[in-house]
Structure 1
Amino acid sequence: MLFFVFIFFVGNSVGQSYRKTDSGIRLSLPEMEVDLQFYTSGIVRVCKSPKSIQYHPESFSVVKTPEKVSFQVMEKDSIITLKSDRMDVYVNLKTGKVGFMNSDGHNLLSETDYGTQFTPVKYDKVSTCLVRQSFRLDSCEAIYGLGQHQAGKMNQRNQALLLRQENTEIAIPFFQSTKGYGLFWDNTAYTLFTDNDTETAFESYAGECVDYYFINGGNADNVIRGMRELTGQVPMNALWTYGFWQSRERYQSQEELVDVVKKYRELQVPLDGIIQDWQYWGTDQAFWNAIAFNNPKFSNPQKMVDEVHGLNAHIAISIWPSFGTKTNLYKTFQEKGMLLSLKGWPDSALPYDPFNPEARAIYWKAIKENMYSIGIDGWWLDATEPELNVKDYYAMKQNTYAGPYQKVANAFPIASVGGVYENQRKLSSDKRVFILTRSAFAGQQRYGATSWSGDVKSSWDVLHKQISAGLNFSACGIPYWNTDIGGFASCNFYPEGVNDLSYRELYVRWNQFGAFTPMMRSHGTCSPREIYQFGEKGTWAFDAIKKYIDLRYKMLPYIYSTAWQVSRYGDTFMRALFMDFPQDTIVHDLNNQYLFGRSLLVVPVTRPMYVGKDKTVNLKNIQTTDVYLPSGINWFDFWTGEQLLGGQKIAKETPIDIMPIYVKAGSILPLGPEVQYAEEKSWDTLEIRVYPGADGNFVLYEDEFDNYNYEKGLYSTIAFHWDNTQKTLTIGERKGDFPGMLKKRNFRIVLVDNQHGAGDNLMKKADRSVSYTGKECRIKLLD
């Protein structure tokens, strides 16, 4: 129930006072208290609260404590300014407005005058406030982030968006700007984000104070680095997780699951992971999510796991946060008061309280004893929103270990995922934790979890919208993301599933997109998705699908090295084009292209071309896809080797097996051998493609591929540098060492030009072949 609104302001006639703290200042204004804290010279925390509360909550996201930062405090004309070597932060004593400027005096962002509001509300017996803060953005700046959403928007301006965890929607109250700053609104309640001509605002439905962080990065990468410095760095995933994953809703028996892996091996189609979805616990909803193999069709799960491992593959399994009434976990959590009275799906099941450390330990104990102990390799933590039937705050009367659910609702996924990660890390460092999950909150990257876009429908429009969904999610600093290749639910648009040639075309294009996301995973309901369901070898759909699975495996040295850049240097896999081309305003709202890593421009095909409404297939009438090549650099067509000028729009021919891929001039692209699984062959022979036209660098990273010894320094790097003027490739001295490291290897150097070094097949003849033993060498190449 709404009572009244406080709008805080200060007049000239009222005195103000402030005191300097170790990391900033605290201001006492007539109606509120303001804390400004430097966490680094470029990161500031802003807290505002009514004097009667003076409450600064602990964060589910922020793990950093303030550094010792040198700053000055100046006061002039009712403005107090804090100056560090990176930025200025000012407070208007008349209006309470806080603003941020570069050290050279250029404005980055400011609150609006009198823009802080606390509105007391009561949910059942819970008294709290609607907490609102408004800001003023420049009319021409674009912003990105806010999590994962399905509207197809790239630039997140000009909208009202409710940030609430739901299936297909991930709520992260963070955005970053083309002006080179980021803002993290640290509130875990459902939050309304609005942006219009007069203001940009966050309004959280529960809270006691305004609490946000301003990050002055100067560019998008530094903003993400700042966000990760605040909320945690990204651990490395195992090499095998970057291979191809097959799944469906669901495998009916352990024999069926193992047979899928066997079939991939027989067809010589690469595969590294397979996932068992729900009901391995049985079909009675009362035993929902027992985290035990109660289904008689999974009578010997140890044998299933051993057979998958014997085929050089890995297995993950679906685990939910809610439990049926007859499960042992339901009974245990109920006895201990650790169930949340929040109805979801199925309606009789209830979720556990992940905010309670004892509950998290019990949850992990079941996973460890029933799944980890038999060798299950990864955890598909489904429905971590959690999936609820009731989303009305006034109806949510549940109290959690961390307080009323209204105040912590959006933090459910980070609490639950974090419990699994942390408990497995305590158990062993020999095997990297792998988690696939449907929801996320700011900071979840520190658990290495991969989010996916939820139960999206199978349609061309939905495929298109996944691009901007993944890019904005990645812009929040969480790098691991993917979608169900083919869309989860094909029933509505393609009731015949794989038997419908139109669906086959959609799946082929979605598979191409999936090859250039951090995790390549096929999954869905209503129709099976295994490659052999789409035809035989030699048929157009089968061959096009296999082509991109094969290409994914050849790119593993590039992908794994990019993963190291993500973990060690704060990089990003899926890069919205504003990150690398902020001055090219054409890309600011371009929602169908991105960079995969630093080198590859990817343009997924998101419309049908070759299957007509009458279900006839015409592959000979070649269609085109519009591509914009960002300005400021030249580009190479990956498929042809043709060099093109940036800053132009082109029409690329896109037969069914071609998705437009362009490589930045100056790129150095390592390609690995043809394999059936990620670790089948060592990287003793790599093709190194050099794309001339600009200087370039690449660092090849290697370690033991599946443990945490890299955290102890057990890894190696080899730096490559291309000097475009001298036409010289320098392969630097190898740095580091680890058990099993290759001491000798062969680099096959290819200087790319038109029809040379092009396409997905390795070159039969290299321009130069280098036997490398770890010492620096220089190779002169000619155009």
Structure 2
Amino acid sequence: MEVLKYQTENDHLLIECRKGVMKIIPYTESIIRIRYTLEKQFGKKESLFVEPNTQQSIHFSVDENEDTIFFSTSKVRIQIKKHTAAFTYMDASGNILTKEPKQGGKTLVPTEVIKPVYDNNTEIEHTHNVDGARAKAAPAKRVVDRIAYHTKLEFEWSDDEALYGLGSHEEGVLNLRGTHQYLYQQNMKAVVPVLVSTKGYGIVVDSYSMMKFRDDLHGSYLWTDVDSEMDYYFMYGPEFDQIVKNYRYLTGKAPLLPKWSFGYVQSKERYKSQEELISIIKEYRERQIPLDLIVLDWRSWTGDLWGQKSFDPDRFPNPTAMMEEIHQLNAKLMVSIWPIMSNDGPNHIEMKQHGYLLGNQANYDAFNQEARNLYWKQTNEGLFSHGVDAWWCDCTEPFEADWNGEVKPEPEERLLINTNEAKQYLDPGYINAYSLLHSKGLYENQRQTTDRKRVVNLTRSSFAGQQKYSAITWSGDIAANWKTLRNQIADGLNMSVTGIPYWTLDIGAFFVANKEQWFWDGDYEDGCDDLGYRELYVRWLQYGAFLPVFRSHGTDTPREVWRFGEPGTIFYDTLVKYIKLRYRLLPYIYSVAGWVTHEDYTMMRPLAFDFRNDLNTYDVKDQYMFGPSFLVNPVTDPMYYDSGSVEMEGVPKKRSVYLPSSSEWYDFWTNQRLHGGQTIKAKADMETMPLYVRAGSIVPIGPDIQYTSEESIEPLEIRVYTGKDGSFLLYEDEGDNYNYEKGEFATIPIHWDDQNNRLTIEERQGSFSGMKTSIDVLVTVINGMEEEPGKGDQKKIKYTGEQKMVTFK
């Protein structure tokens, strides 16, 4: 693809090739947009996820020699070969980050876009399966809508380079090198077209069609199914946090979730009545087990009116009073709502009358703003006006079609089944974006309705930009076995590395038993009565306590803590131990959440995020950092019981843990101090998930509380892990409104001077309504000689907002 000529415009470089035209546009010094078309001019389609007005006025230079054109900003340099138009991406010093094959890396292949046409005679087939209601329609005819392109963007990745991202899938792959991935939405696949490299760069592909990633015998590339042109962004870090910051600059910041959303979430399929919901909350309160949110799964509506957004008056006779009682118990309620409506319920009929349904006359058209507004109007009138706190947007990949049969279809077959079904009702160029627009409608409309309650949306799909709509993605209807638990760790990390900060899963998995359908693939027929499942559930909850959102859910068996034993039994006591630990860590967790919003931080971090220079971290897929301090190491193998309560013998109660280099580490449970750069066998009995704290960490730890807003007279503990200088920014605000956007929040910078054994609590910055004017603080210094946590050198002080120094001998 020979370059014929080029010209420099005010804000871009235009390159005319023998086949097509390219445009290189600097958005910032570190973000470069690249477009390529075979048409006479570039398209005018607006991006669904890139924020408006993100293109800055950036100085760039263009130079050339006999065979090369050089495009440069102060941070990024792109070398374009004149004979092939092959790109080489470099930093400002000329270090190669990545490159295209020498023959060129961009290909566009024309393809016909087929559009189904429906009319008034279209027959609709309504069905139900375990994944909810479905409606299928046969189009009256199909027509060619337009000519678009398959796009292919090729790279030559380095042998020592690791790649992460693309969303949360079900294979348990962390480093994507040497693998392939199909990017389309289905129950256990959540797509984000973002790729991040340990070489210090990221790629964002502005496409909403089905995509493929390959790094195997077929090549190394990103491929899209239906696009009018190739359109992508190259983001330079080089650190992962800088890449994520660039991504959020481009696609939108993540709003702060309410403080209560970081507490414990109790859910199951399903609570069926007003009385049952309240009784479960009361049981938690009586047992003094912390709880903040309970979830009402599907069929809150009347009878078979699937997707109706209102309460069944027989089972929820007074929803306003129910919500008042739930709130008086210091809990919140999340309700499941669906984008599909059927059986001519009031919501369904209203959508149909306005013409806001897709071709199956069941799913509302989330791409239509007026349809999104009506969807919220229905949600508000039927649920939000009664005081409901949060949304569970289930089935937001609305057209999957492979959840049936005894045998799981092959990956390529699943790809065709699901994408062909989606193309029946959505433009092929947009089948991955439904969840993005659905989330947008809920967020924007709730924000217009009130600023007193932060938006919370738990949804099963994801896409680039969805973080700006307060969306939390969960990993779908997974099955209860140890392999799934292992896989989920990598799946969540590949979601978080893309810049989507909030990801979670069903603690204990959704399907627990084993039934005829391929997806109902759990190992535990007796559910929580099976000691093997109890062990798995304990390990899953230990892991879940260190996820951004801490949520139990599933079918087949109850999920409340007391279903796994009573006080004094190892299962019950361990579950309570980790739920309480989660609440004690809330000052740390909520501060980190504040950084996510204000500083574009990432809470759940693959090891390469913080230890990019340690190549040993690149393929560690069962460990991660939770914030700056905690190295989390879930136990992913049984040690006590097999399924059927069969006791296991001779299994060591340990797991292998790699401690990254360039740091020393503390065992959180024993305070033992260990050198980094080594693999150890860590204690991992039932009560112990190996947990390590990085030297130099400052960890704020709160008192035992039963819900996130509970006040306590106990002091805030600031725990310092010595061995290195450290800092922490303690963040506080009102907890559940948007006043923080007006600057109504407070931060307290805290620093540890390791050489002088001195902790400095700086002057508080900012304020908010209800802020405490003084805080009792217990400073604990850990140096590795202690016998148990919290028993290091300690000093009590009263912090009143002025600078305070505490020196230890």
TM range (shorter): over 0.9
2:475 counterpart of 1:450: no
1:396 Cα deviation after fit: 5.3
* Cα distance in structure 2, aligned partners of 1:700 and 1:395: 48
2:627 counterpart of 1:597: yes
Deviation sequence 1:572-621 (CA, Å, 0-9, x none): 11000001111111110001000000000000001111124662558998
* Cα distance in structure 2, aligned partners of 1:310 and 1:42: 50
> Superposition pairs for residues 307-706 of structure 1, below 5 Å?
307-341=325-359, 350-389=362-401, 391=417, 393=419, 398=424, 405-492=427-514, 493-612=523-642, 615=645, 623-682=653-712, 685-706=715-736
Q: 1:157 to 1:683 in 2, by over 3 A?
A: farther
CA contact 1:80–1:91 (8 Å) conserved in 2: yes
- One-letter code aligned to 1:117: T
* Cα distance in structure 1, aligned partners of 2:645 and 2:14: 69
Tell me the residue number matched to 1:102: 91
Partner-residue secondary structure (3-state), 1:518: coil
* Cα distance in structure 1, aligned partners of 2:579 and 2:38: 57
- One-letter code aligned to 1:120: P
Q: 1:475 to 1:621 in 2, by over 3 A?
A: closer
Q: When the two structures are aligned, how many residues end up with a matched partner? A: 755
Q: 1:642 to 1:433 in 2, by over 3 A?
A: same
CA contact 2:78–2:88 (8 Å) conserved in 1: yes
Tell me the residue number matched to 1:219: 239
CA contact 2:256–2:594 (8 Å) conserved in 1: yes
Tell me the residue number matched to 1:185: 205
CA contact 1:240–1:679 (8 Å) conserved in 2: yes
Aligned with 1:235 (options 245, 255, 259): 255
Range moving further from structure 2, 693-702 or 298-307: 298-307
Tell me the residue number matched to 2:276: 256
1:755 Cα deviation after fit: 6.5
- One-letter code aligned to 1:114: G
1:352 Cα deviation after fit: 0.8
Range moving further from structure 2, 429-438 or 300-309: 300-309
Aligned with 1:43 (options 28, 31, 34): 31
CA contact 2:68–2:80 (8 Å) conserved in 1: yes
> Superposition pairs for residues 258-273 of structure 1, below 5 Å?
258-273=278-293
2:5 counterpart of 1:17: yes
Q: 1:395 to 1:740 in 2, by over 3 A?
A: closer
Tell me the residue number matched to 2:65: 76
2:192 counterpart of 1:172: yes
CA contact 1:689–1:757 (8 Å) conserved in 2: no
Q: 1:277 to 1:644 in 2, by over 3 A?
A: same
* Cα distance in structure 2, aligned partners of 1:614 and 1:61: 48
* Cα distance in structure 1, aligned partners of 2:578 and 2:330: 20
Q: 1:484 to 1:733 in 2, by over 3 A?
A: same
Deviation sequence 1:125-149 (CA, Å, 0-9, x none): 2332212121221122001001001
* Cα distance in structure 2, aligned partners of 1:758 and 1:482: 31
Once the two structures are aligned, what percentage of the paired residues are identical?
A: 40
Tell me the residue number matched to 2:797: 770
- One-letter code aligned to 2:803: E
CA contact 2:531–2:644 (8 Å) conserved in 1: no
- One-letter code aligned to 1:372: F
- One-letter code aligned to 1:35: K
* Cα distance in structure 1, aligned partners of 2:29 and 2:712: 44
1:54 Cα deviation after fit: 2.7
* Cα distance in structure 1, aligned partners of 2:635 and 2:224: 38
Range moving further from structure 2, 204-213 or 103-112: 103-112
What's the TM-score, normalizing by structure 2? 0.91
* Cα distance in structure 2, aligned partners of 1:327 and 1:77: 70
Tell me the residue number matched to 1:5: none
Partner-residue secondary structure (3-state), 2:223: strand
Partner-residue secondary structure (3-state), 1:697: strand
Deviation sequence 1:57-90 (CA, Å, 0-9, x none): 3211110521011111112224221111111123
* Cα distance in structure 2, aligned partners of 1:394 and 1:472: 26
Deviation sequence 1:502-546 (CA, Å, 0-9, x none): 100000000000000001011000001000111111111110100
Could you tell me which runs of 5 or more consecutive residues in structure 2 were left unpaired when the two chains were aligned. 115-141, 403-416, 515-522
1:298 Cα deviation after fit: 2.0
Tell me the residue number matched to 1:119: 109
Partner-residue secondary structure (3-state), 1:256: helix
Tell me the residue number matched to 1:196: 216
* Cα distance in structure 2, aligned partners of 1:422 and 1:758: 48
- What CA RMSD, in Å, does the superposition of the two structures yield over aligned residues? 1.9
Q: 1:755 to 1:726 in 2, by over 3 A?
A: closer
* Cα distance in structure 1, aligned partners of 2:420 and 2:491: 30
Partner-residue secondary structure (3-state), 1:48: strand
- One-letter code aligned to 1:709: N
* Cα distance in structure 2, aligned partners of 1:412 and 1:682: 44
- One-letter code aligned to 2:600: G
* Cα distance in structure 1, aligned partners of 2:62 and 2:702: 56
Which runs of 4 or more aligned residues in structure 1 lie more than 3 Å from their structure 2 counterparts after TM superposition? 390-399, 616-622, 753-759
1:368 Cα deviation after fit: 0.8
Range moving further from structure 2, 189-198 or 40-49: 189-198
* Cα distance in structure 1, aligned partners of 2:218 and 2:187: 32
Aligned with 1:291 (options 309, 317, 321): 309
* Cα distance in structure 1, aligned partners of 2:332 and 2:479: 27
Tell me the residue number matched to 1:3: none
2:141 counterpart of 1:134: no
CA contact 1:435–1:450 (8 Å) conserved in 2: yes
- One-letter code aligned to 1:244: Y
CA contact 1:73–1:82 (8 Å) conserved in 2: yes
Aligned with 1:85 (options 54, 58, 74): 74
- One-letter code aligned to 1:255: E
1:682 Cα deviation after fit: 5.0
Range moving further from structure 2, 566-575 or 387-396: 387-396
Partner-residue secondary structure (3-state), 2:542: helix
Partner-residue secondary structure (3-state), 2:602: coil
Deviation sequence 1:142-197 (CA, Å, 0-9, x none): 01001001111110111221100111111111111001100011100001111136
CA contact 1:167–1:387 (8 Å) conserved in 2: no
Deviation sequence 1:714-761 (CA, Å, 0-9, x none): 1111111111111111111111111111111111011114463844xx
Q: 1:628 to 1:397 in 2, by over 3 A?
A: closer
Tell me the residue number matched to 1:4: none
* Cα distance in structure 1, aligned partners of 2:288 and 2:274: 22
* Cα distance in structure 2, aligned partners of 1:185 and 1:438: 21
* Cα distance in structure 2, aligned partners of 1:356 and 1:265: 44
CA contact 1:340–1:351 (8 Å) conserved in 2: yes
Deviation sequence 1:454-495 (CA, Å, 0-9, x none): 101111110111100010100000110111000011022112
CA contact 2:664–2:675 (8 Å) conserved in 1: yes
- One-letter code aligned to 2:353: E
CA contact 1:684–1:745 (8 Å) conserved in 2: no
1:379 Cα deviation after fit: 0.5
1:657 Cα deviation after fit: 1.0
Partner-residue secondary structure (3-state), 2:582: helix
CA contact 1:673–1:681 (8 Å) conserved in 2: no
